[in-house]
Chain A
């Protein structure tokens, strides 16, 4: 667990702007790099408190993951950025949102150029989905987070 270097931070912000149109993402937050390209966000005060403590397992909220230069936003990461996300975003119905949270692929008739999109259902953001060559969108929902199948 370490702070993102300024170069890493600049790269993340740039990718978020290119991928999803977000300007100055996570501007007021401390960003921490953990294993497997995961990025967590927290407040300055929380990070300072963590530095005083022992056997720290985790700090803040998992917001994103870098995979081959792309940014995959977690459900909370996308919720945090919210209305700042303006590009590559798809709107889901309630039924589709339930399917998304089961990690079931979602079909879209329109062509999507980006490798990743963010899903939204009303005011709620559901994280990133990977756009496959067959046109389906595969939700990147962690196994523990999925609605169990009946």
Chain B
């Protein structure tokens, strides 16, 4: 989708309220176009879903949806992913209730594509609830191998459990553990680990403007500390040669590049790997921030602004544990 005219940008700027702290913070970020960001925040996110190939053939499910008046367009970077328009409320459809589709943002599908699950692998989703990415991993495992979906919150685990059930996942285990403590019993156990970390969510403000109102640098610093512990735990749970994907739906450097840089400085065997996702517009990770030079390999990580694809903003890093 092309950017809209400057008139529209000005009009949208008048609607969204950012605190001075947040505006100043965003303005300081390298490569930031604040007008476009505000415009993206004003737009509703595109509605998208994945077809559940664990339950039926892709063609059959798409045919059903088309016959009900939905217009469907494939998402280039996500296998089985589609953007949808027209038709009724997808969340109340028979297809959704039967688990034939899973409603999920288009860019939110990218971290699992970067992880690239293969049948037979043992994979941990460390912060799994409500289960969008867990169901995506399960789909790509095709019933072979094991998915371990973990979360720290009992209430959120209930939603995770419902979604894995609706999706029809046989080869899954749900655990309720503080992710930071996972290596105590599962060190070196997994082929791949996904950390879709809790974050300040600046990439999805269009879903909920309250995020912008609640934002503070104090929250970011606290989250950054938690994220550092989580990424380290996730790395320690990997087998040698294993792959870790770290992702957030936020834009702050403290929660993204600085977290990955911290891992690289604290684990000798950690190496950043290139991510290739067809058609997903993005920019390289930031390697210089507040006068501090980060590791060069951070530039291989992916920073996705909401206005890059007129969808969610995300950060994705793929890390390989040497020695496989």
Instruction: Give A residues with C-beta under 8 Å from B.
Output: 29, 41-43, 45-46, 49-50, 52-62, 74-76, 79-80, 94, 97-98, 101, 123-124, 126, 144-148
User: When chains A and B are docked, how far (Å) is the Cα of A53 from the Cα of B164?
Assistant: 19
A98 partner residues in chain B, CB cutoff 8 A: 94
- Are B97 and A146 within 8 A (Cβ)? yes
* Contact among A61, A94, A123 with B60 in the assembled complex (CB-CB below 8 Å): A123
B160 to chain A minimum Cβ distance, whole angstroms, is: 9
- Chain A interface: which of B31-39, B167-175, B227-235? B167-175
A124 to chain B minimum Cβ distance, whole angstroms, is: 6
Within B45-62, which residues are at the interface with A (CB < 8 Å)? 55-56, 60
- Are B161 and A57 within 8 A (Cβ)? yes
* Nearest B residue to A97, CB-CB: B94
User: When chains A and B are docked, how far (Å) is the Cα of A50 from the Cα of B99?
Assistant: 25
Q: Is the interface of B mostly helix, strand, loop or mixed?
A: mixed
User: When chains A and B are docked, how far (Å) is the Cα of A84 from the Cα of B171?
Assistant: 21
- Are B146 and A56 within 8 A (Cβ)? no
User: When chains A and B are docked, how far (Å) is the Cα of A148 from the Cα of B93?
Assistant: 10
- Are A54 and B175 within 8 A (Cβ)? yes
Q: Is the interface of A mostly helix, strand, loop or mixed?
A: mixed
User: When chains A and B are docked, how far (Å) is the Cα of A45 from the Cα of B175?
Assistant: 16
* Contact among A55, A56, A79 with B55 in the assembled complex (CB-CB below 8 Å): A79
Q: Is B259 an interface residue (CB 8 A)?
A: no
- Are A42 and B100 within 8 A (Cβ)? no
- Are A41 and B189 within 8 A (Cβ)? no
B175 partner residues in chain A, CB cutoff 8 A: 53-57
A76 partner residues in chain B, CB cutoff 8 A: 99, 165, 168
- Are A46 and B173 within 8 A (Cβ)? yes
Q: Chain B, 163-188, contact with A by CB distance < 8 Å: what is the 0/1 string?
A: 01110111111111100000011100
Q: Chain B, 2-26, contact with A by CB distance < 8 Å: what is the 0/1 string?
A: 0000000000000000000000000
A124 partner residues in chain B, CB cutoff 8 A: 55-56, 98, 100
* Nearest A residue to B120, CB-CB: A45
- Are B170 and A145 within 8 A (Cβ)? no
User: When chains A and B are docked, how far (Å) is the Cα of A75 from the Cα of B164?
Assistant: 13
B197 partner residues in chain A, CB cutoff 8 A: none
In this complex, the member of B92, B146, B157, B166 whose beta carbon has the largest number of chain A beta carbons within 10 angstroms is B146
- Are A75 and B176 within 8 A (Cβ)? no
A126 partner residues in chain B, CB cutoff 8 A: 98
A55 partner residues in chain B, CB cutoff 8 A: 175-177
* Nearest A residue to B57, CB-CB: A123
25 sampled A-B residue pairs with Cβ under 8 A: A46-B170, A46-B171, A49-B122, A50-B173, A53-B148, A53-B185, A54-B175, A54-B177, A55-B177, A56-B174, A59-B173, A59-B174, A60-B170, A60-B171, A61-B164, A61-B169, A61-B170, A75-B98, A123-B56, A124-B55, A124-B98, A145-B97, A145-B162, A147-B94, A147-B97
B184 partner residues in chain A, CB cutoff 8 A: 54
A147 partner residues in chain B, CB cutoff 8 A: 92-94, 97
- Are B148 and A45 within 8 A (Cβ)? no
B97 partner residues in chain A, CB cutoff 8 A: 101, 145-147
A103 to chain B minimum Cβ distance, whole angstroms, is: 11
* Contact among A29, A75, A94 with B170 in the assembled complex (CB-CB below 8 Å): A29
- Are A101 and B94 within 8 A (Cβ)? yes
B94 partner residues in chain A, CB cutoff 8 A: 94, 97-98, 101, 147
- Are A144 and B92 within 8 A (Cβ)? no
Q: Is B145 an interface residue (CB 8 A)?
A: yes
User: When chains A and B are docked, how far (Å) is the Cα of A34 from the Cα of B94?
Assistant: 28
- Are A58 and B174 within 8 A (Cβ)? yes
**Apart from A43-B170, A56-B173, A147-B93, 13 more pairs, CB < 8 Å:** A41-B170, A42-B171, A43-B171, A52-B185, A53-B175, A56-B174, A61-B169, A61-B170, A79-B55, A124-B98, A145-B162, A145-B166, A146-B97
- Are A45 and B98 within 8 A (Cβ)? no
- Are B165 and A62 within 8 A (Cβ)? yes
* Nearest B residue to A75, CB-CB: B98
A62 partner residues in chain B, CB cutoff 8 A: 165
B9 to chain A minimum Cβ distance, whole angstroms, is: 38
User: When chains A and B are docked, how far (Å) is the Cα of A130 from the Cα of B242?
Assistant: 49
In this complex, the member of A59, A80, A98 whose beta carbon has the largest number of chain B beta carbons within 10 angstroms is A59
A52 partner residues in chain B, CB cutoff 8 A: 185-186, 189
